[in-house]
Structures are given as structure tokens and as C-alpha cells.
Structure 1
């Protein structure tokens, strides 16, 4: 008889998805099913090693296997990661229910390095829940404490960076979020029975370039072509560029400036990221933003099941996120009631006038996107003077001041309704703009801009009430439904 999954792991199983028990996990392991990569991890008692379900090593006997909902949980029970399948590269956590979303948002904050300078109490306060409730939710969903979660994430990131021959261990330690090299060495040796130097030697020196590289994995299928086409059609001149089937952009975070490049490695189910060494101090922030921008935590099978035939033409279609929330929110305001091409023209004017020049050595990347603090110091007339309609200039200025004053935070949030209400309270921001920002900036998978002309055309109706009734069947993935509807209007779809 199959055992029921429990996050406490007391019965040899893990919570690895709806109705996925230990025996189902073992069958997925035998099949090396890529759909379950990152959904659970298998630990082998006889070896003390844990693996991803896609590991190429011969599976252990069922009686010797334990299953865990996260790599962190496996390590907290004393298992060491497999050097072959490298669990630190597995796709991230994908949430559906409210308690899962809370855990995912906390994980999002922790992975961006928040605990290096703040406490779990600060995260709980930011998310609007009690510290006790947040700790309990993380323990139930991921099987570990917040501190264990942060430690394991830092160790996994350090392991990812080991293949960069040009990086010293000190650089790797601090880039991964450790504030002490001694603590890094001790924790690494404790977890993996190897010192960082021994591990790096064992992994081998793979690359020695001026740029740092690492991989970010996803659950297949992954429609890279559609996602890249979306970014290309909306690329902001000087800040973003699409060339040679890769995404390039400038980055200015804290006091660090440089460029990043993202390429697709379909045979390895991952994106390969290259960043300038000048960006190493903000590496955790960059990874966190890229995971959202390229929707790497998505579970495409769950979405496919809910959307049915709507999703069949574009399997693995992703929700384009935002590397910079204020940048995309501003772009949404500029794009109100006009074509994508016309919005691009306005975005180019706005950033050319308010962006900060940067010398990258690349002719198509020469500007840093303007932040909210910079824009908030401008006057609406000054924005209007560069060719932006006055009403839109006033809306952009109001948004910038709201972000500056912490009345709006353009990052994923637990209280999505309140955030969207705050947006629509600003002048010139209606429901379409708020829903679009919720989709791309707040990473809300159930946002749905039902008044959009493209959606009306795709559904062959102008009735808002009818559109909303039709969209009920697509909950909680209506944002993905919107993407499929828009794509259905493209000639290639």
C-alpha cells in the first residue's frame, strides 16, 4: 500500500506535489522523469547520498530510499548531495495554494540574500504575517527552518560557482552570501565531508574567462523562442538587446554596474548566464531576478492540465517577468491604449532622457534603467518635454513617488489585492495596467487583463462579463491563459 506524503518526513516520504506518495516518487525515479526534477529528492540510506530524480546513476532499491520535498530537507537529515546530478542545480520551488505561495515568497526573499542583513522577523513583517506562522509554514512546506534554508542555498550557490576557475574561494564565499570565510569553510566541510578547496579540485577547472557563468535550470518543456520573441519586441534600446539567440542587458544594482547575458541550453534543460565580474557582490539578487524574469520556477504540466486545449499549441509557454519592476511598470503605463511599436518609441525617449550612461564596450548596451528615486525627482513637464504624453508623464511620476515612499513595492507580494488597489489609486492607472503589472512584476499567476483588446479578439467577444466567465475555468493560471490567447493571434502560433 502506498504511503501518504508528509512534509515532516517521519514516514519515509516527502510532500512532492498533489497526491504524490513515496511509491509514485520511486516510479518517477525509475523513469528519470524530467517533469519531477526539483519536485522531490531521493536519499539513499546505504550511501548517505541524495540525488535528483533524473540522476543517471542506477537507482537504489526501494527499501533503501527516502524521499524529501527539498534538497535542504535532505541535507538537514545528514545526506550529502550527489556529485554527478548536482542537486543544487535542480529547478526551484513552484507554488499553487496560499500557504505554498507564502513559503515561496519567503524563499524568494531568502534566496535574494535578505537574511544576510535582516532577520526572519523582518521577512514576516514585510509579508504581513506573524513570525511564528512563517516559521511553521516554511517547516511544513520545505521541511526545514529558515536558517537551514539560507545556509543550504548559500552552499548550493557556492557549489555552482566552483567551475569558474578565475574565482578565488574568498570571492565565491562572499558572493554566495557568507559574511565569514571561516564559517564558509567550516559549514562546507560539515555538510559535504570535503573542504571547498578539495571540492573545487575534484570538480575540475572548467572555465577561465573574464565573465562569471552559472546555470539556472527549469522544468521542461520550455518555450524559449516565444519568451525571447516577447522580450525582443519590447526591448528598451540601450538597456536590452537580443542577438544570436541570447538576451543581453545592462545592470545597475546598489553600487555595482555591468552586463549580463542569458542563453538557452535545451539539451540540459537550463539557461546559461554570464555576468561581468563587477556584478559579483550582487549575484544573489541577479539570480533571484532572472528566475522571475524567465519564469524558471514554473510547473508547466500543472498549467497544461488546467488550461487544456488552450495550451496545446505552445507547450511550455512561460510568463515573461521583470528583471526590474519599476522599468516594466513604467513600460506598462507607456503602453496604455497604443501598439507595442508605439510604446517602444515612448520607452526609448524616456530612458534616453532619464537613464544613466554606462560604458560596456557594446554599442547596443549603453544605458542603465532609471530607478524610482531618480524619476521621482523629475517634473511631469520635463518628462512630457521629451515626447511623453502629459497624462502618462504624471502617472509615471506618481508611481515613482509611491515606490520611493514605500507605498508600493514592485516585487511579488502575499496581499496581491491590496497592492493592485494601491496601484489603481494612482492617477492614470486603471485595471488593465494593474493586471499587467501583477502579471509581469508581481509574478501573480492568476492576473488577467480581461479588458485587453487582444484577449477580446482571441475570444471573439467584447463582453467583459463573458470573458471573465470563460476565464474562470483557467484559475489559478489565468496569466498563462492570457499569454496563450495573445500568442494565438500571432501568425506562427
Structure 2
């Protein structure tokens, strides 16, 4: 389905099917409003509907966001599915569904969009963004417009405006605080653009949505949408035993953690967050402590990655239904692949966990957080420290092996952690969403003490790799017993490009 296929788009809009949520938006010419495809307002006539790939494109065409379905709550675009290197060399007919090669231009545009969303509060210029992506501003404008049909600046403005709209609707922040948290440099600039795009002032919007009397000065809560089904409890069951003492907590069907992020001026901002599922709204409610307002877009982007909110479960299930022939109930709709909030923290925990139990790993990671992390005061019992950064580890005055050795970590693991910290410090290795996962895994395996399993697991969780498959994993072999290694590899080929989700199903089955 493309935006040019009016009949198909209207049929999807008419169905109100959550599978299409976030994949397109509908501009209604008779009202000047644009909606999500799940909007429950009265269905407009086909001739009054125009379809757009992004909210930014709808706003560029002069449409205002619907106050009922709230386009700012729509889930993001599902992750790209890159071809494997083998498939890139040969476009054979047996290429798995969904594995069509993703060209470099599209990858660049999607990565730029992710950067704009995560750093909409701190990006100053297109030249700065282009330089960070290793291209010219002119080239970035061209490929971005081809992919999203708007310029990067227009996309950035929409990111800021929709975040501001969400804050005005769901929080008691003052208009000035909303403007600053959304990335606007001044209140005047915010007011002018808001009126120009939405034809009303921020305070008028707050009155219309009935939020003018909200209390100020409290922690804020925002909603982040996802496409159902969403197996929240299984995801928490994965995260709970791996929660680092003092840094993370899973209790009462909610996830809590401490946060340290860096502002544009280089200063650290510390706080805490809570995430809980609101099933009736197909969304997570994310509570953010007040100090984190300065880095709110970063917080929300990392929450989306951690909880795999951009996943398209129905598309994945179409491929993984083949798992049902192995064992009924093996493929569970709505299973997500856990990402990570802090890539370095996750990587350290993975290294510590080599050849020891999950419980033992959690104990060691807790010691690292307590001894080398930064103490923090929170109103959540049990959240006491933020995990050390790569700079903290790499900058230790004494040998890392000695400092970590005192915590019960063997020298080989300590040296691996030190080497990784150095590579992340100088930018040689990028553990982040949008990075090429296979390239990242190859770079990780060049470090002493990191093998294929460790590198693949890190790339899966930090880079959103949908097609990782850790064939040497004990749990995978146990779940697929008595099959031999060759049989397991052959079987897993049927699950491309969603083998990461297949692994989660196999681990969950144990």
C-alpha cells in the first residue's frame, strides 16, 4: 500500500485497524484536520481524504492534528529490514519475505529522522546533523525529501510541535517550560509557529482539551503508543531478573530506572523514569522526573527503543507462524525484543555474564553501579545509583583490572570492558539505534574477549537488529533439541528477517 493508492488507504482508514496506526495519516479537507487511521471520529467521504506518509507531510500541507485521536501518540515507523550481506550480493528468488535490500540513501534518511526525533531539543542546524552522519547538508536534504516528502527542517519542526502538544495536553507544565522542553529556543518562536501551524495559541489548546487546571511542578507523565498485541508481561519477565540493583527495578507490572543523559552544553542530567502499560489505550505511560525535562526527547526516544514500541507485530507474526509446526503455542503474537536504555550499561552487563548465571551477572553489575556509578536521590525506593559511563571506566586512575578485580570480576572481563569503553569513547564503535548491526557485531568481535554470541546479543539489543540469531546459545539448542547445529541453522532460515523475535519465542518457551 502506497500513499498514491487512494482506494487502499481509504479502505484501511475505514477499517480502523490498529495494524495501520503510524504507517500513514489522513488529512480531511472539509475540516482541515489530520488524523491517525484508528481515529473514531465520524468517517469523512473518500473525496475529502488525502493520505500522507508522515505527520510532518500532513502539516506541511496545512492540516492541523486531531484533538480526538492525537497524532502525537501514534507509534513510530517499524524498523527497516536490511538485507544480509549474502542477499546484497545476490538478489536470489529465495530471499525471505521482507528482506529486500535497503539502499544507502534510505538508510541515511531513516537514521536522520531518528536523530531528529531523539535530539529535537538540541539540534541547531542541518549542517551539524549532516556532519554527524558523514554527508553534506545538500545530500541529506535530497535523500530525506525522497523518503519522507518533507525537508529535515520541516520534520524537526513537527517533532517539536507534537511533543509540545503532548506536554500541553497531558502535563501541568507552564507554556514556557513546554517551549523549552520541546526544543524551541524562545517562547516567542514557539508561540508564533504554534499559531501558524495549528491556528490557535498554546493556552487555547490547553483550554480546549480541558487541561488548564492541571497542577504544576510535579513529575510529568506522557503516553507513547504501540501497535497491539503487546506482550508487556513477558517483556517485564525478561527484564526483571536482569535488573541491575540500584539502577533498575521491576515491580507491580511497572519498570523503573535511573537515568543520566548529556545536555547540548555537555552537562549531565540525572533523574528517574517509570513505564507502565495502559492496555486500553495501546500505549505506555512514561513518568519522568522533573530534572529530565532538559533532555526529554532523548528520554522518550530511548524508552521507545528499550520497549520496542515501533515494532509491527502482525507483520512479524505472518512469518513466524511457521514456528507453530514445531510446537503449538511457540509463536506468541505481541512478543517484543527488549532493546536497551543505556547501550554501555547493557554491554558491560553482557560481558560480565559470560559463562555465569543471570543471577551472578546481576550481582556483579550491581557492585559496579554501587562502587563506580554516581549516587542519586530519588523518590523511588531502591533506585540509588546511575550506572558508570564509558568515560567513567576509561578514566579510572588505577588499572581497570585492579579496580574491577576488587569487585570479583576476573581480569579478562575487566580488560574487555576497558577496551570497549575506549572504543566507544573515540567513536570507533557505535552501540546505538540506527547503527549497522552486522558491522557493529564485526567490530565488537575484534575486541579481546568478545565472541559471536556476545557481539550478536549486544547488536540485537543496542542496534535494534531484527534478524540476529545466536545459534550457539544453550537455551536455543535446548528449545530446539534434539536437532543438530546444521538443522537449527536451516530451520532458522525460514524465520528471516525476524529471527530475533523467533529467539525471544524460543527463550520464552523454556
Contact kept, 8 Å, 1:246 with 1:261, in 2: the verdict is: yes
Q: Provide the secondary structure at the position in 1 that maps to 2:379.
A: strand
1:300 is the counterpart of 2:300: no
Matches within 5 A, 1:70-149: 70-97=54-81, 98-99=102-103, 100-113=106-119, 116-128=122-134, 131-149=137-155
The residue number in structure 1 matching 2:37 is 53
Tell me how far apart the structure 2 counterparts of residues 196 and 265 of structure 1 sit (CA, whole Å).
Answer: 27
Deviation at 1:473, TM superposition (A): 1.7
| Residue of structure 2 equivalent to 1:233 | 241
**2:197 is matched with which residue?**
191
Alignment deviations for residues 177-216 of structure 1 (CA, whole Å, 9 cap, x no partner) = 1112111111100100001111112112274261111100
Moved more, 268-277 or 386-395: 386-395
1:388 aligns with 2:401: no
Deviation at 1:462, TM superposition (A): 6.6
Match of 2:368 in 1: 350
Determine the C-alpha separation between the residues in 1 that align with 2:494 and 2:304.
27
1:350-398 CA distances to partner (integer Å, 9 max, x unpaired)? Answer: 2222111111133311011110000112321110111112211111111
Between 349-358 and 267-276, report the one with greater CA deviation.
Answer: 349-358
Cα distance between partner residues in 2 of 1:69 and 1:86: 16
Establish whether residue 399 from structure 1 lines up as the match of residue 420 from structure 2.
yes
Q: Give the 5 Å matches for 1:275-286.
A: 275-286=288-299
How far apart, CA to CA, are the structure 2 residues paired with 1:52 and 1:88? Answer: 9
* Distance change >3 Å, CA 119–CA 444, structure 1 → 2: farther
Once the two structures are superposed, what CA deviation does each residue of 1:319-358 show, in whole Å capped at 9, x if it has no partner?
A: 1010000000111111112221221122122222211111
> Which residue in the other structure is 1:18 paired with?
none
Query: 2 CA distance for matches of 1:476 and 1:220?
Result: 20
| 2:234 alignment partner, SS class | helix
Q: Which residue of structure 1 lines up, in the alignment, with residue 457 of structure 2?
A: 436
1:445 aligns with 466
Q: 2:121, 2:219 → 1: CA distance?
A: 27
Give the equivalent residue in structure 1 for 2:257: 249
Return closer, same or farther for 1:71/1:264 CA change in 2, 3 Å cut-off: same
CA spacing shift, 1:360–1:115, aligned 2, 3 Å: closer
Pick aligned residue for 2:222 from 202, 209, 214: 214
Contact 1:307 1:481 in 2 (8 A): yes
CA distance in 2 between partners of 1:361 and 1:114 (Å): 28
Indicate yes or no: 2:477 matched with 1:456.
Answer: yes
Alignment of 1:163-182 (within 5 A): 163-182=169-188
- What are the ranges of 5 or more consecutive residues in structure 2 without an aligned counterpart? 82-101, 263-267
For residues 17-76 of structure 1, the C-alpha deviation after alignment (integer angstroms, 9 at most, x for no partner) is: xxxx32222122222111111111111112211111111111111121111111111111
- Report how far residue 128 of structure 1 moved: 4.5
2:12 to 24, 28, 34: 28
Distance 1:384 1:28 in 2: 59
The equivalent of 1:5 in structure 2 is 2
SS in 2 for 1:360: coil
Q: Distance in 2 between matches of 1:434 and 1:217?
A: 30
Flag the 1:413–1:87 CA change in 2: closer, same or farther, 3 A.
Answer: closer
* 1:202 and 2:202 aligned: no
**How many Å separate the matches in 2 of 1:425 and 1:365?**
35
Partner of 1:16: none
SS in 2 for 1:329: helix
* Local SS of the residue matching 1:274: strand
Q: Flag the 1:114–1:269 CA change in 2: closer, same or farther, 3 A.
A: closer
2:162 is equivalent to residue 156 of structure 1:
yes
The alignment partner of 1:398 has SS state of: helix
| Range that drifts further, 323-332 or 338-347 | 338-347
**Is the CA contact 2:436–2:463 (under 8 Å) kept in the aligned structure 1?**
no
Cα distance, 1:446 vs structure 2: 1.4
Task: Report the aligned-residue RMSD.
Answer: 1.9
CA distance in 1, matches of 2:158, 2:128: 20
Which residue number corresponds to residue 433 of structure 2?
A: 412
> In the alignment, is residue 359 of structure 1 matched against residue 372 of structure 2?
no
Q: Map 1:315-326; keep pairs closer than 5 Å.
A: 315-326=333-344
SS of the counterpart of 1:47? coil
* CA deviation after TM superposition for structure 1 residue 294, in Å: 0.6
**Contact 1:94–1:104 (CA under 8 A) maintained in structure 2:** no
User: Matched residue of 1:152: which SS?
Assistant: helix
1:475 and 1:136 map into 2 onto residues whose CA distance is 31
Q: Which moved more, 1:475-484 or 1:295-304?
A: 475-484
Alignment length, in residue pairs? 473
